[in-house]
């Protein structure tokens, strides 16, 4: 079959009542060198459309566009200017360069193989909180790669080392509590921790797939609530959910940069396919100057750790302590916590202002606290109830 050559095609395919139809490829189509094709309608590819030069652009200033079909189209250069987002129902590849102009690329999170694929180290430009891959992207090549991934109006890149993309690596970001993920068959219990871990983020996680050992660099912003994990970034770690052990495992840290509101952390090398998801964790118990915070609570009446104890707090009388469960629900709050800690401190009973069932004993497990002291940066960390 003779190949169709496009120099410049603007596709306005409309039916009656201006109903949108689609560019539907059943055969063999190729964009030759210096050729440009602009899609202002949906694309259905059931034929061959993977040997392209030139530029393919997706454009719409009022509605979304969709790419679907049985075969993945692969473009040389690709630009996306779709105000209401470009939705992928089949994988789409780019081999030379991709630019975000308007809108994000939305992929089905329940189907990781449907992704925006960066092939041969193809670079990209223009990503931000409004323009990124909302779902899965993949990388194939020999260079370091930073996935332009996010969730809704939040860009949260993840970077891998050069060797990891040789056999294709794939990743996505989820602004979700790992205890209640929406797109995985199981859950990732943030109270199930291996040795030397003291807490795991309940706010977000990433899925990274690949069979080659790599370091992974994760990024955070002020919505990551890093102070709920550590008071010192040196104690922050990358952690991974080991499905065989059914617990979170410390993947280490070779360094962090930034502050509590924006920054990044790089793990030790690990094989991504050995861990279902990865996120932030804490590896240290907090000891803060003249304050000593006891993170074990055993309210059994023996007089030892019956309540959450902070020694030295009386020197900072303008203070407030809040305790949250793993769902982020406040279960306890008290100002001037130093007063009568032994009898009025947190003893494993739900007393939070937004708690529905007050005076109920809380189950064994991991909780996290915040300690606010007037004139100082808030402190936060994890504690464990064991009866």
Alpha helix (H) residue ranges in the chain: 341-344
Residue 155: partners with Cβ closer than 8 Å, 6 or more residues away: 127, 128, 129, 132, 148, 149
State yes or no: pLDDT of 103 exceeds 70: yes
Structure-model confidence comparison of residues 11 and 282, the more confident one: 282
State yes or no: pLDDT of 168 exceeds 50: yes
Cα–Cα distance, 320 to 143 (Å, whole number): 49
State yes or no: pLDDT of 8 exceeds 90: no
120-134 pLDDT, tens digit each: 999 999 999 999 999
Residue 192 CB neighbour total at 10 angstroms? 16
Domain that includes residue 354, residue range: 287-385
Does 94 fall in a domain?
Answer: no
State yes or no: pLDDT of 14 exceeds 60: no
State yes or no: pLDDT of 384 exceeds 90: no
176-187 mean pLDDT: 95
At 13 the pLDDT is 36
State yes or no: pLDDT of 16 exceeds 70: no
Does 337 fall in a domain?
Answer: yes
State yes or no: pLDDT of 180 exceeds 70: yes
At 225 the pLDDT is 93
Does 37 fall in a domain?
Answer: no
State yes or no: pLDDT of 5 exceeds 70: no
Is 230 within 8 Å of 284 (Cβ atoms)? yes
Does 369 fall in a domain?
Answer: yes
Question: How many structural domains are present in the chain?
Answer: 1
324-344 mean pLDDT: 88
- Range name among 18-22, 172-176, 187-191 with the lowest pLDDT average: 18-22
Torsion angles phi and psi, residue 45, rounded to 5: -115, 105
pLDDT band, residue 358 (cuts 50/70/90): low
277-307 pLDDT, tens digit each: 999 999 854 445 567 777 778 887 777 778 9
- Range name among 48-52, 125-129, 162-166, 378-382 with the lowest pLDDT average: 378-382
Does 116 fall in a domain?
Answer: no
17-25 mean pLDDT: 68
At 19 the pLDDT is 42
State yes or no: pLDDT of 10 exceeds 50: no
At 293 the pLDDT is 79
Structure-model confidence comparison of residues 326 and 120, the more confident one: 120
151-160 pLDDT, tens digit each: 999 999 999 9
Does 347 fall in a domain?
Answer: yes
State yes or no: pLDDT of 382 exceeds 70: yes
State yes or no: pLDDT of 197 exceeds 50: yes
State yes or no: pLDDT of 242 exceeds 90: yes
Residue 165: partners with Cβ closer than 8 Å, 6 or more residues away: 121, 139, 140, 141, 142, 143, 145, 210
State yes or no: pLDDT of 220 exceeds 70: yes
Domain CATH number, residue 377: 2.60.40
Is 54 within 8 Å of 38 (Cβ atoms)? no
Torsion of CA 89, 90, 94, 98, to 10 degrees: 0
- Range name among 3-7, 254-258, 342-346, 375-379 with the lowest pLDDT average: 3-7
Q: How much of the chain exceeds pLDDT 90, in percent?
A: 64
Is 308 within 8 Å of 369 (Cβ atoms)? yes
- Range name among 111-125, 269-283, 308-322, 341-355 with the lowest pLDDT average: 341-355
Does 111 fall in a domain?
Answer: no
Q: What distance lies between CA 268 and its chain's CA centroid?
A: 19
pLDDT band, residue 325 (cuts 50/70/90): confident
Torsion angles phi and psi, residue 342, rounded to 5: -65, -30
Does 115 fall in a domain?
Answer: no
44-101 pLDDT, tens digit each: 999 999 999 999 999 999 999 999 999 999 999 999 999 999 999 999 999 999 999 9
Structure-model confidence comparison of residues 346 and 376, the more confident one: 346
At 7 the pLDDT is 36
């Amino acid at each position: 079959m003779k190949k169709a050559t496009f120099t410049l095609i603007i596709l306005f395919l409309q039916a009656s009542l201006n109903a949108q139809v689609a560019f539907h490829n059943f055969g063999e189509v190729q964009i030759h060198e210096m050729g440009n094709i602009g899609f202002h309608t949906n694309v259905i590819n059931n034929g061959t459309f993977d040997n392209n030069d030139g530029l393919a652009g997706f454009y719409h200033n009022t509605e979304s566009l969709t790419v679907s079909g049985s075969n993945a189209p692969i473009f040389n250069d690709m630009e996306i200017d779709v105000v209401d987002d470009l939705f992928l129902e089949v994988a789409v590849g780019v081999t030379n360069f991709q630019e975000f102009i308007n809108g994000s690329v939305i992929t089905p999170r329940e189907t990781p193989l449907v992704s925006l694929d960066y092939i041969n180290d193809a670079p990209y430009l223009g990503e931000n909180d409004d323009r990124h891959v909302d779902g899965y992207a993949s990388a194939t090549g020999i260079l370091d790669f930073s996935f332009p991934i996010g969730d809704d109006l939040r860009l949260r890149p993840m970077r891998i080392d050069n060797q990891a993309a040789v056999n294709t690596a794939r990743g996505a970001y989820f602004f979700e509590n790992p205890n209640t993920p929406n797109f995985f068959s199981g859950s990732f219990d943030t109270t199930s921790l291996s040795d030397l871990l003291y807490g795991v983020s309940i706010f977000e996680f990433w899925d990274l797939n690949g069979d080659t050992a790599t370091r992974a660099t994760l990024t955070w912003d002020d919505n990551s609530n890093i102070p709920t994990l550590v008071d010192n970034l040196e104690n922050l770690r990358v952690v991974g959910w080991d499905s065989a052990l059914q617990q979170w495992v410390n993947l280490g840290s070779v360094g962090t940069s930034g502050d509590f509101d924006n920054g990044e952390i790089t793990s030790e090398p690990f094989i991504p396919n050995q861990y279902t998801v990865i996120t932030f964790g804490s590896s240290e118990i907090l000891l803060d100057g003249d304050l000593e915070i006891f993170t074990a609570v055993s309210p059994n009446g023996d007089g030892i750790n019956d309540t959450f104890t902070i020694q030295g707090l009386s020197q900072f009388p303008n203070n407030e302590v809040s305790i949250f469960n793993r769902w982020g629900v406040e279960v306890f709050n008290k100002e001037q916590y130093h007063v009568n800690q032994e009898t009025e401190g947190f003893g494993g009973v739900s007393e939070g202002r937004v708690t529905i069932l007050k005076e109920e004993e809380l189950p064994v497990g991991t909780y996290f606290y915040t300690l606010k002291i007037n004139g100082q940066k808030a402190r936060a960390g994890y504690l464990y109830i064991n009866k």
